[in-house]
């Protein structure tokens, strides 16, 4: 968790210097891991995102790029993400797609 704080701070400084936005995917992952540990965000290799992790990443980017509230999205992948997991992930992404 401490490492994620340092990485996030570095990205925030870089974004401020370059007048850009940051998709805070790492922060979103950290929040889900702490608050919803039953949702598996990584594949069995613990390096690549699972279907739920990929969905969370997509929700953060959709919100950042469109400005739309990801909790209002209704699309769910055909497999690998339950309706409840999708609801939690969309809600979580809302908190990490704004600077």
For the chain, how many structural domains are there in total?
1
Within a domain: 2 = no
The pLDDT value recorded for residue 22 is 86
* 34: in domain: yes
Q: 69: domain range? A: 23-94
pLDDT at position 98 is 60
pLDDT, position 30: 93
- Residue 8 domain-assigned? no
What is this structure's pTM?
0.86
pLDDT in tens, the chain (99 residues): 788 788 778 877 887 888 888 889 999 999 999 999 999 999 999 999 999 999 999 999 999 999 888 889 888 998 999 999 999 999 999 888 665
Tokens 């940051």: give the residue.
Answer: 22
Supply 61's token pair.
């980017």
Does 75 fall in a domain? Answer: yes
């Amino acid at each position: 968790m401490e490492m994620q704080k340092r990485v996030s701070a570095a990205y925030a400084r870089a974004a401020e210097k370059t007048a850009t936005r940051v998709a805070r995917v790492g922060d979103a992952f950290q929040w889900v891991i702490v608050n919803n540990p039953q949702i598996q965000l990584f594949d069995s290799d613990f390096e690549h995102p699972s279907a739920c992790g990929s969905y969370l990443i997509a929700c953060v980017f959709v919100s950042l790029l469109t400005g739309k509230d990801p909790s209002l999205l209704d699309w769910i992948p055909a497999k690998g993400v339950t309706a409840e997991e999708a609801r939690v992930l969309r809600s979580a992404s809302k908190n990490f797609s704004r600077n």
